[in-house]
Amino acid sequence: MNCASCPAPCCRNVLYLTPREFEQLRKKKPALKYTRIGDVTILTPCPFLVENRCAIYADRPLACVRYPLNVQYREKSVVIVLHFKCPPVPKLAGGDQMLAPVELERMGISQGEYRKMFVTNLILDAEIGRVWKNFTLKERNKMRIFEAKTKQPNPGADAVIAVMPLETYADLVQTVEDLLDADPGAPYESIAQKVQRKLLFEQ
C-alpha cells in the first residue's frame, strides 16, 4: 500500500498505546504529552507525525501497523473493515457493503499485508483487552466519556472485508493472549509470526 502522497488523516486520530508501547515511545520522547486512563495511554494527535510522515515508522505502534484495518463488534459476529478515512479505501454510501477482493489489489494491499494487518489487530485486541479486564468501574466510565468526546462523525461507511463469528474471533484473541503470557518479553513481531504460522497451519 503506497502512502507516499497521503495527508496522514490516520495519524490525527486518537491513538491507543499498550503499556509496553508507552514505555518504548517515552524513551524516544521523554516530554511525551498523553492522556492516561488506567494502564491505557492515549495520544491525540500523534506527536511523531512530522510533515505528514511518521518519524518512528519502523517502531510504530500496533494501532498504526494494522491501519486501515479495524474490527467492529456486533452481537454475534465481528466485521472486519477498512477505515473510511484512509484515502485509497473506496468511498461507500453506507451500510455493510462488502469489498470485492480485487479492490484490495487495486489499493495495493497484498494477501500477505492483509494477514499482517489482521494478526496485528488480534495482538492489539489481546493487549488492550487484558488491560480493560483490570479497569476499575471509575476507569471504565472515564474511558467511555473520553471515547464519546473524541468520536468523530462518519460521513461515509467503512469498507467491509469479511464477517466472522464472534466466538471464532474471541478464540483467536485468546490464542494471542496465551502466547503473550507464555513469553511476556517477546517482541510483537515475534508473536505475530507465531500467530500467522498457526493460522496458516490450521487452514
Contacts of 85 (CB under 8 A, 6+ apart): 9, 10, 13, 68
Radius of gyration of the chain (CA): 17
Burial 63-93 (b: 16+ CB within 10 A, else e): bbbbbbbbbeeeeeebbbbbbbbbebbeebe
Q: What pLDDT score does 184 carry?
A: 87
Q: With pLDDT > 90 as the criterion, what percentage of the chain qualifies?
A: 44
Residue 29: inside a domain: yes
Residue 175: inside a domain: yes
Is residue 105's pLDDT more than 90?
Answer: no
Say which amino acid occupies 121: N
Summarize the confidence of residues 129-158 as an average pLDDT. 83
Is residue 188's pLDDT more than 80?
Answer: yes
Residue 1: inside a domain: no
Residue 53: inside a domain: yes
Number of domains comprising the chain: 1
Q: What pLDDT score does 69 carry?
A: 92
Residue tagged 495511554 (cell numbers): 41
pLDDT tens per residue across span 49-104: 998 889 999 999 999 999 999 898 888 999 998 887 888 887 664 555 677 777 78
Helix (H, G, I), strand (E, B) or coil at 50: strand
115 DSSP assignment: H
Instruction: Identify the CA nearest to 81 among candidates 66, 61, 93.
Output: 66
Residue 130: inside a domain: yes
Residue 15: inside a domain: yes
Mean pLDDT, rounded, of the chain:
86
Domain of 16, in residue numbers: 9-202
User: Measured in Å, how far apart are the chain's first and last C-alpha atoms?
Assistant: 25
**Order of strands, sheet of 77-82, starting from the edge strand that comes earlier in the sequence:** 69-73, 77-82, 159-165
Helix (H, G, I), strand (E, B) or coil at 89: coil
Is residue 162's pLDDT more than 60?
Answer: yes
Question: pLDDT band at 154, cuts 50/70/90?
Answer: low
Instruction: Identify the CA nearest to 87 among candidates 18, 159, 7, 155.
Output: 7
Residue 2: inside a domain: no
Phi, psi of 30 (to 5 degrees): -55, -30
Helix (H, G, I), strand (E, B) or coil at 201: helix
Crossing angle between the packed helical segments 188-202 and 166-182, to the nearest 10 degrees = 130
Residue 153: inside a domain: yes
Written as nine digits, the cell of 132 is 480493560
